[in-house]
Amino acid sequence: MVVVTGQNKVSGNPDDAMSSSDAEDEFQEPATPTASQAGQALPLLPQQFPEVVPLNVGGMFFTTRLSTLRRYEDTMLAAMFSGRHYIPTDAEGRYFIDRDGTYFGDILNFLRSGDLPPRERVRSVYKEAQYYSIGPLLDNLEDIQPLKGEKVRQAFLGLMPYYKDHLERIIEIAKLRAMQRKARFAKLKVCVFKEEMPITPYECPHFNSLRFERSESEAKLFEHHCEVDVSFGPWEAVADVYDLLHCIVSDLAARGIAADHQCIGVCDKHLVNHYYCKRPIYEFKITWW
């Protein structure tokens, strides 16, 4: 019996033999394309666009002129359709923008003829105008309601640097109490006061002037923290306590949180002599479902 070993099998003519490295090269998987090779598969820039542009914005279809999309050169749409960037197309050849298209028609109407959306869509269109960086539309929307009123409201809230923090504290306390009690709602006490010092007519004659300017020592007599969960104030503006209460309830509602409130009295903390705090205390009821 003649046995042919692997060694004898390989030991033939060197020219006819294939080394192990050559064999590996022959059966090696194709290498992953490099970035430069992948880039060669994409359409060459600049991309050419037709005069009438079909669009697919998040599954909603639109058709407009190229000049409309380029109406304002500093916008995202003008940059996208400038030819400097590659825009993918869907199966029907429409240029695809991966964005909810619900309010894109309002964007196009402004670019076409300067039309503004109805009041109930102003906030949503404003958000889209921010995304597409359409400055002229943003300026126009900020000058109409409800955004114009919101600018005034934010100017008032700017007087209270911790307003947002206090709002978050209300939410966290109400959530914790509701979870602890396994309850549908939670109650907490909130102090809202406009003036730092008591200014009832009875107290007016006892101080230096009608503006209630007090010395540093007098002011310290009135410094204290009311026994409440959250306290807002003081501030200097025409807007009063009820205006701030409206802001609190409105901002909670914008977060999907239902809140009711009622005044349950005043802080009866004794300060000095016959003076008491008298800051109004409100009970907030936060309903979770």
pLDDT at 50 over 70: yes
Q: What is the pLDDT of residue 275?
A: 66
Give the pLDDT of residue 267.
86
* CATH entry, 52-144, from 3.30.450.20, 3.30.710.10, 2.40.50.90, 1.20.120.640: 3.30.710.10
Predicted local confidence at residue 216, as pLDDT: 58
Residue 134 pLDDT exceeds 90:
yes
HEC secondary structure over 156-223: HHCCCCCHHHHHHHHHHHHHHHHHHHCCCEEEEEEEECCCCCCCCCCCHHHCCCCCCCCCHHHHHHCC
Alpha helix ranges (H) inside the chain: 6-10, 20-27, 35-39, 66-69, 76-80, 104-113, 122-131, 135-142, 147-157, 163-181, 216-221, 241-254
pLDDT exceeds 80 at position 2:
no
**What is the per-residue pLDDT for 43?**
52
Residue 32 has a pLDDT of: 45
At residue 269, the pLDDT reads 75
Q: Which of 266, 256, 268 is nearest to 190 (CA)?
A: 266
Please tell me the predicted confidence (pLDDT) of residue 19: 46
The pLDDT score that the predictor gives to residue 237 is: 87
The HSE-up count of residue 84 (CA atoms within 13 Å, CB side) is 7
Residues of the chain with CATH 3.30.710.10: 52-144
**pLDDT confidence tier of residue 268, bands split at 50, 70 and 90:** confident
Residue 90 pLDDT level (bands cut at 50, 70, 90): very high
Q: What is the mean pLDDT of the chain?
A: 81
pLDDT score for 7? 45
Question: What is the per-residue pLDDT for 93?
Answer: 95
* pLDDT score of 31 more than 60: no
156-197: per-residue pLDDT in tens?
Answer: 999 988 999 999 999 999 999 999 999 999 999 999 988 765
What is the mean predicted confidence (pLDDT) over 78-106?
95
Q: Give yes or no for residue 223 having a pLDDT over 70.
A: no
Contact between residue 55 and residue 99 where contact means Cβ atoms under 8 Å apart? no
Res 192: pLDDT? 92
In whole angstroms, how far apart are CA 59 and each of 129, 132, 275?
19, 18, 67
Spatial distance between the Cα atoms of 112 and 68, rounded to a whole number of angstroms: 6
d(CA 100, CA 280): 46
Average pLDDT over residues 220-232: 77
Q: If you write DSSP's letter for every residue of 5-17 in order, what string do you get?
A: -HHHHH-S-TTT-
The fraction of the chain above a pLDDT of 90, given in percent, is: 61
120 pLDDT exceeds 70? yes
